[in-house]
Amino acid sequence: MSEELKVERLRKVFSVGRPAIDDVSFKVAAGEIVVLLGPSGCGKTTTLRCVAGLEHPTEGIISIGKDVVSAPERGILMPPRHRNIGMVFQSYAVWPHMTVRQNVAFPLKHRKTPRGETNKKVDEALAIVGLSEYSERPVVALSGGQMQRVALARSLVYQPRLLLLDEPLSNLDAKLRLRLRDDLRRIIKQTNVTAIYVTHDQAEAVVLGDRIGVMRDGKMLQLASPQDIYNTPADLFVANFTGASNQIDGKVIERSGNEGLVETKSGERLRATLPAALQTGSPVKIALRPEAIRLGGGGDTNIFTAKVADCRYHGTQTVYDLAVFGGKLEALELGTEVRYPVGSEVKIALPPSLLWGYAANETSGSEH
């Protein structure tokens, strides 16, 4: 039965360095998939390991359903084996000397489940992960993707209250990774288990998560639906980490509602979306996704002329480097034709709702 997970003011300090997790709070509703996304070292794995009980938190409360499983200030620390959690890791943690069926049956055997029930549950789990016809094969005779399916079936077979997945696709080749990525969401949803999925790959996060929690330096910066993360990133780091590769520096010269007029360093004026805290006169950094730039113009706001400095044809899309505002912007256009040759001039339209202004003292995270 799936249950809610609640993490309150979690802190983990290792013996050296800054806290690996610094006051992180979030909930995962029963049956929900939350993806923890962030660069290497941001604290995703440590958060997951604290939930699993493999790491001892320094402070904070972790509850699964009605059970408080960890509360160091109150001396509570439930051992991992009592938490009834399923786990799938990067490495294929399968037992090489067993068949597929024996691997998946193992947790039930360990729990002394009657044979008939075990067989039924193993059959169901193998069907869900698409491995029914492989059940009698030695597990070592499978591909990497199939081994991860075995690991997944083995974690689901005893109906854990929570499923934790730590970069389960990162050892697979690109093609298998895409296939299993799409299947994983269907499988997790079909079993209705509450899940946390850790990755540094934003494409994986968008496909898999009901909500995505973006982490950096031990903090949770934004926890929201993939669409909200993508369309209204909370800060410059979230915008950049999820693919806003363009940045325009300027100064706010006028505000109205949640928009304002920004003057670039080279003197052009653009209308952009601005947070309330940014007052007239403030320096601002505008983040902009390559696909937000409308090549060929359109509309009557934020129309400029740019020069094509370079272009890279990818078959189904073309990436252009545009010289404009005294710098460069990267633009992306879908389609199988290169419409603007290098050296040509092109009109561009920049929709104000997709130009996100942030305080200029925010760090962008581009160093990661």
Ligand X SMILES: Nc1ncnc2c1ncn2[C@@H]1O[C@H](COP(=O)(O)OP(=O)(O)OP(=O)(O)O)[C@@H](O)[C@H]1O
Please state, in angstroms and rounded to a whole number, the distance separating the CA atoms of residues 84 and 162. Answer: 7
Task: Tell me: does residue 40 bind ligand X (CB under 6 A).
Answer: yes
Helix (H, G, I), strand (E, B) or coil at 100: helix
CA distance 223 to 215: 9
Build a one-symbol-per-residue string for 1-20: x at contacts with ligand X by CB under 6 A, - elsewhere.
Answer: -------------x-----x
Of 38, 107, 168, 365, the one binding ligand X (CB under 6 A) is: 38
The smaller minimum CB distance to ligand X, of residues 35 and 42, is found at: 42
> With respect to ligand X, which residue has the nearer C-beta, 44 or 271?
44
- Closest residue by Cα to residue 357 from 234, 188, 182: 234
CA distance 368 to 362: 15
**Count, residues near ligand X per rule CB under 6 A:** 11
Instruction: For residue 41, state whether it binds ligand X (rule: CB under 6 A).
Output: yes
User: Which of 38/57 has CB closer to ligand X?
Assistant: 38
Is residue 121 at the binding interface for ligand X, with CB under 6 A as the rule?
no
CB-CB contact of 165 with 195 (8 Å): yes
Looking only at residues 321 through 360 of this chain, which bind ligand X when binding is defined by CB under 6 A? none
Least distance from ligand X to the Cβ atom of residue 201, Å: 10
Write down the least CB distance from residue 322 to ligand X, Å.
34
Q: Which span (37-45, 107-115, 277-285, 300-308) binds ligand X, by CB under 6 A?
A: 37-45
Instruction: Output 41 or 130, the one with its CB closest to ligand X.
Output: 41
Check residue 322 and give left, alpha or beta (phi > 0: left; psi -120 to 50: alpha).
beta
62 Cβ neighbours under 8 A, 6+ residues apart = 5, 6, 7, 8, 10, 50, 51, 68, 69, 70, 71
Residue closer to ligand X, measured from CB, 45 or 242:
45
Q: Which of residues 159-218 bind ligand X (CB under 6 A)?
A: 200
Contact predicate 231/225, CB 8 Å: no
Which residues 6+ apart lie within 8 Å of 188 measured at CB?
A: 33, 163, 195, 208
CA distance 336 to 338: 7
Instruction: Compute and round to an integer the Cα radius of gyration of the chain.
Output: 24
Residue type present at position 267: G
Q: Which of 5, 34, 35, 46 binds ligand X (CB under 6 A)?
A: 46
Q: Which is nearer to ligand X, 53 or 260 (CB)?
A: 53
Minimum distance, C-beta of residue 219 to ligand X, in the bound complex (Å) = 11
Site residues, ligand X (CB under 6 A): 14, 20, 38, 40-46, 200
